[in-house]
Amino acid sequence: MAVHASTPVTLIEAAYARLAAAVSAARAQTGRPLTTAEKILIGHLDDPSGPLPERGRSYVDFRPDRVAMQDATAQMAWLQFMTAGLTEVAVPTTVHCDHLIQARVDARRDLLAALENHDEVYDFLESVSARYGAGFWKPGSGIIHQVVLENYAFPGGMMIGTDSHTPNAGGLGMVAVGVGGADAVDVMTGFPWNVRWPKFIGVHLTGHLSGWSAPKDVILKVADLLTVAGGTGAIVEYFGPGAETISATGKATICNMGAEIGATTSLFAYDESMARFLKATGREQMAAAAGAVAEHLRPDDGVLADPAGSYDSVIEIDLSSLAPHINGPHSPDRARPVSELGAEAAAEGWPMEISAALVGSCTNSSYEDITRAASIVSAAVARGLKVQAPLLVTPGSEQIRATIARDGLLGIFEEAGATVLANACGPCIGQWSRSDVAEGDANVIVTSYNRNFPKRNDGLASTLAFVTSPEVVVALALAGRVDFDPLNDTLHSDDGTEVHLPEPIGTELPPDGFDPGEAGFLAPPPPGERDAIEVRISPTSRRLQELHPFAPWDGRDFEGLAVLVKAAGKCTTDHISAAGPWLAYRGHLENISGNLFAGAVNAFGGAVGEGKDQTDGQVRPYPEIAKRYHAAGWSWVAVGDANYGEGSSREHAAMEPRFRGCVAVITRSFARIAETNLKKQGVLALTFADPADYDAIGPDDRIAIGGLADLAPGRPVRVKVTGPDGSTTAFDTRHTLSADQIDWFRAGSALNVIRTRL
Ligand code: MIC
Ligand code: SF4
């Protein structure tokens, strides 16, 4: 497999040829107009001959064009791939080193420190990519989603990526879906990618953004309307005249944060803004190829004439009246216009002062974002204002960094006292060495990132994080307070002058073109040279550990299972397998299991990360109890509330429980990727048929799960709960296993099934 620094136009033309044929066949067969997402899905069906699958029900096999993986998830994916015994990946695959770089001092020193601290992991990723024919983007080259947008995404394509914000590429009209590593391994080993045919949510955009309102506000508003679970099982498709007024990078921001509403992905139809971005990033041929098939990259006229007849639901947003928003704390759907934050903070008792302001991340670090934010900073500084809180800027890619440095934009931030960090995730994922506040110090941060779960940025539960657009972040940094409305309030410079901040001014694309900066891509060597590449995993390594296949199901029903944890409220992947310092162990299943459920809130008493160890009745941290159950050969279940596993794609949140003996996770509902990750690893993902049965499970109960020999699609699974006094109660749970997926459970994991087929 040849992998290049961008998607070759031949690959795109081949995809378009399949797209055109499949779309006309489907249109003839269904006799109804098709949405953009439907067309792209149809164009990537493994078997396009049958009838269109049933929305929200049928599981379907697809053939994605590409796979992208970031360093924190690629390790486990490669460790799984290596057990398949293949010589190369079956589809173009790239690895991006972005998550492991810690924000400490500044870009240069932080990158050097990362190269030293993570050399073993980087060596592994570089050599394993070379060995199996994948492309490797070095540390410092940028955040996966920006690098993909600038080089690999193309309208009408399909990609899966081992990161939940992969849908960022929807800004270029691609169906790009975040998945766990095991899904990526399916595709890398030449098997189709299996996922449920989604529902379709249409977002009709009218009007146009102006003043302080930015693309970020569209998704902050959508999150408000749909909530963190509202997009589950759906593709969100933006359409209408307003869509065409938004730049491709602005569209990418909107699609990126669709992860926060649980959507399978989000996308826009191909338009002029995408053509402009493709041309500006050196992909004129791609723009021409897309232009030639534009009719297949947009909704049919019949969809636009009757959206309600084509989408499962439709949301209306008038961009002209959309106010700038700020969402948080603790959940990305807790929304309000920025003008209302001060009053809410006063009512809630949140601190008014801002302790840090952060611009960048995969969500918001485009040229347009940076120019808009910089326009505010330079106008404010010219009027004698200073930033009142530490301001940290993370460029999304080396290309953005080099371009904004050349164009004097980084200089504007630096003159205002900002720290420019490495082109990496940094504080967005807890890679932030912060000493100005300690645990227990209530403090507020404002970011242009996408997530704001407790502890996410700095590891401190007492930090309240709010997400907003980059221009609002810098405005709040200049005020130093959350009760500042940049539209209506004024600030005072040191000499007492009253300053009304001007409206942000942005430039969509760099007038002098992009500066690629330092080259960060390593192509794999030609096939003949790959066998000599050694992929080293030291048996004594703390960072990497070879994987061994999980044992197949023994054919017996589960009896006497302990309840390791019953989580109350939000139980995101950050609660199940925290990031920050734990990112260091993403390639070592045993070591990373030291964080298992460390953030979960115990439904029995509310303690965080600890519960009763049934082996001796002592209270211990969950990771320790799980280790002790594992050592004792016990099997156990975890119980969760609604939208269990929301957030990240990290499959560690499924592999760790599996490794420690978990056989089932029973919840009120699952986030899509979390549910799939559990199924892939052979763990039963069950939901209470009656959500009230969540209350039936006590701390000392034992669980039995019966009828497993008859496990069948759509057939409920009976769960029996026995209390410590011998009393019993039973209830039904549901699962979404298809017939093929039941084989994953029987074989012990999806990968075990693949191994038998290779
Ligand atoms: C995130 O934003 O939570 C991450 C870190 O990028 C994760 C991936 C991971 O945990 O490695 C994601 O979004 O999938
Ligand atoms: Fe990185 Fe944050 Fe984007 Fe995740 S959301 S890929 S941690 S920048």
Atom of ligand 2 nearest to the CA of 450: 5
| Best of 145, 392, 583, 648 for a ligand 2 pocket test (most atoms within 8 Å of beta carbon) | 145
Kindly name the residue from 325, 451, 575, 652 that is annotated as catalytic. Answer: 451
Q: Does the Cβ of 165 fall within 6 Å of ligand 2?
A: yes
- The letter for the amino acid at 628 is R
Residue 384 scores a pLDDT above 90 = yes
Taking alpha carbons only, the member of 172, 162, 400 closest to residue 259 is 162
Report the alpha-carbon angle 372-264-277, nearest 5. 35
Confidence of residue 1 (pLDDT cuts 50, 70, 90): confident
Would you state the pLDDT for residue 149?
98
Q: Which two tokens stand for residue 546?
A: 């070879």
- In 3-state terms, what secondary structure has residue 36? helix
Q: How far apart, in Å, are the Cα atoms of 349 and each of 330, 341, 444? A: 15, 12, 12
Confidence of residue 433 (pLDDT cuts 50, 70, 90): confident
Would you state the pLDDT for residue 656?
98
Confidence of residue 227 (pLDDT cuts 50, 70, 90): very high
The contacts of residue 649 (CB under 8 Å, 6+ apart) are 73, 162, 163, 164, 166, 178, 179, 180, 573, 673, 677
Beta-sheet strand order (sheet of 175-178): 175-178, 158-161, 66-70, 93-96, 135-137, 521-522
Taking alpha carbons only, the member of 59, 58, 24 closest to residue 42 is 24
Name the β-bridge partners of 640: 667
Separation of CA 732 and ligand 2 centre (Å): 38
Q: What is the mean pLDDT of residues 313-332?
A: 98
Q: Which two tokens stand for residue 293?
A: 């098939």
Would you state the pLDDT for residue 591?
98
Q: Within a 10 A sphere around the Cβ of 581, how many other Cβ atoms? A: 12
Atom of ligand 1 nearest to the CA of 163: 14
| Best of 146, 164, 676 for a ligand 1 pocket test (most atoms within 8 Å of beta carbon) | 164
Tell me if 676 sits within 8 A of 735, measured CB to CB: no
Nearest CA to ligand 1 atom 3: 648
| Best of 70, 361, 365 for a ligand 2 pocket test (most atoms within 8 Å of beta carbon) | 361
Would you state the pLDDT for residue 75?
98
Residue 528 scores a pLDDT above 80 = yes
Rounded Cα gap, residues 404 and 393, in angstroms: 12
Q: Does residue 332 come out as left (phi exceeding 0), alpha (psi in the -120 to 50 range) or beta?
A: alpha
Q: 596-623 burial string, b = 16+ CB within 10 Å, else e?
A: bbbbbbbbeeeebbbbbbbeeeeebbbb
Average pLDDT along the chain: 97
The separation between CA 31 and the C-alpha centre of its own chain, rounded to angstroms, equals 36
Nearest CA to ligand 2 atom 1: 425
The rounded percent of the chain whose pLDDT value lies above 70 is 100
Nearest CA to ligand 1 atom 9: 650
- List, for residues 706-755, the tens digit of each pLDDT value: 999 999 999 999 999 999 999 999 999 999 999 999 999 999 999 999 99
- List, for residues 532-573, the tens digit of each pLDDT value: 999 989 999 999 999 999 999 999 999 999 999 999 999 999
- List, for residues 470-518, the tens digit of each pLDDT value: 999 999 999 999 999 999 999 999 899 999 999 999 999 999 999 999 9
Which residue in the block uniquely carries the two structure tokens 């679970």?
229
Single pTM value for the model: 0.97
Helix, strand, coil percentages for the chain (3-state, nearest 5):
40, 20, 40
538 an active-site residue? no
Would you state the pLDDT for residue 49?
86
99 an active-site residue? yes
Please state whether beta strands 135-137 and 521-522 pair in parallel, antiparallel, or not at all (unpaired): antiparallel
The separation between CA 280 and the C-alpha centre of its own chain, rounded to angstroms, equals 26
- In 3-state terms, what secondary structure has residue 14? helix
Q: Does the Cβ of 650 fall within 6 Å of ligand 2?
A: no
The distance in angstroms from the start CA to the end CA of the chain is 18
- List, for residues 155-202, the tens digit of each pLDDT value: 999 999 999 999 999 999 999 999 999 999 999 999 999 999 999 999
Taking alpha carbons only, the member of 527, 536, 392, 485 closest to residue 102 is 392
- List, for residues 574-583, the tens digit of each pLDDT value: 999 999 999 9
Q: Which two tokens stand for residue 680?
A: 């892939």
Kindly name the residue from 648, 669, 738, 749 that is annotated as catalytic. Answer: 648
27 an active-site residue? no
131 an active-site residue? no
Rounded Cα gap, residues 90 and 87, in angstroms: 9
For 355-399, the DSSP string reads: EEEEEETTTS-SHHHHHHHHHHHHHHHHTT---SS-EEEE-SBHH
Tell me if 396 sits within 8 A of 424, measured CB to CB: no
- List, for residues 88-97, the tens digit of each pLDDT value: 999 999 999 9
Confidence of residue 51 (pLDDT cuts 50, 70, 90): confident
650 an active-site residue? yes
- In 3-state terms, what secondary structure has residue 342? helix
Q: Does the Cβ of 362 fall within 6 Å of ligand 2?
A: yes
Q: What is the mean pLDDT of residues 72-76?
A: 98
- List, for residues 275-286, the tens digit of each pLDDT value: 999 999 999 999
Would you state the pLDDT for residue 428?
96
Separation of CA 163 and ligand 1 centre (Å): 5
Taking alpha carbons only, the member of 379, 364, 366 closest to residue 428 is 364
Atom of ligand 2 nearest to the CA of 360: 8
Rounded Cα gap, residues 605 and 568, in angstroms: 10
Rounded Cα gap, residues 453 and 467, in angstroms: 11
- List, for residues 282-310, the tens digit of each pLDDT value: 999 999 999 999 999 999 999 999 999 99
Separation of CA 555 and ligand 2 centre (Å): 41
Q: Which two tokens stand for residue 585?
A: 């162990």
Tell me if 162 sits within 8 A of 70, measured CB to CB: yes
Separation of CA 662 and ligand 1 centre (Å): 23
Which residue in the block uniquely carries the two structure tokens 């899905």?
41
